[in-house]
Amino acid sequence: MGPPRPDLYQLDARFQPTVVAGVPPDAFTAEGQRWGNPLYRWDRMAAENYAWWTARVRRALAHADGFRIDHFRGFAAGWEVPATCPTAMDGRWVAGPGQALFDAISAALGALPIVAEDLGIITPDVVALREGCGFPGMRVMQFAFGGDAANE
């Protein structure tokens, strides 16, 4: 793909994450989930018209006719946790790149054969982003059997 781009991640001078990804506390875990992977510098990626992401999608499409994006909701907003926190409880929602990311990629590559996984807290902004991109959604079957007939 190209040289490493640590400048596109939220890292300190020693290349350690300053914030990491996760999900907030929920019915599964009172402390949330602290995944620990570094988060993107969306502002820097936007300044380059999302060239890094365009290259990544181009590479994926060289190997498959289409693909699924797990946790698509993170492109609307993601849960940011200070790297010093041992749990995800002290995190906060931070806006993702939204439609601009997918507009830039599709301007370079054409129609995108992407399926958006509907996992996590799916809020109206996430649905609007998925629909605005024209991506079909994909729900996780494990969660299909709770509640009543109105369960999505």
Strand pairing class (137-138; 114-117): parallel
CB 96, CB 76: distance < 8 Å: yes
Per-residue confidence (pLDDT) for residue 1, from 0 to 100? 57
In the chain, where are the structural domains located? 7-142
Residues in Cβ contact with 62 at an 8 Å cutoff, skipping those fewer than 6 apart = none
Per-residue confidence (pLDDT) for residue 101, from 0 to 100? 98
Q: Judge whether residue 2 has pLDDT over 90.
A: no
pLDDT in tens, 96-141: 999 999 999 999 999 999 999 988 788 999 999 999 999 999 987 7
Per-residue pLDDT band at 72 (split at 50, 70, 90): very high
Q: What is the pTM of this model?
A: 0.91
- The C-alpha angle 40, 46, 47, rounded to 5 degrees, equals 115
How confident is the prediction for the chain on average, in pLDDT? 93
Per-residue pLDDT band at 77 (split at 50, 70, 90): very high
- HSE toward the beta carbon, residue 24, CA cutoff 13 A: 11
- Strand ranges inside the chain, DSSP E: 19-23, 33-38, 67-69, 77-82, 92-95, 114-117, 137-138
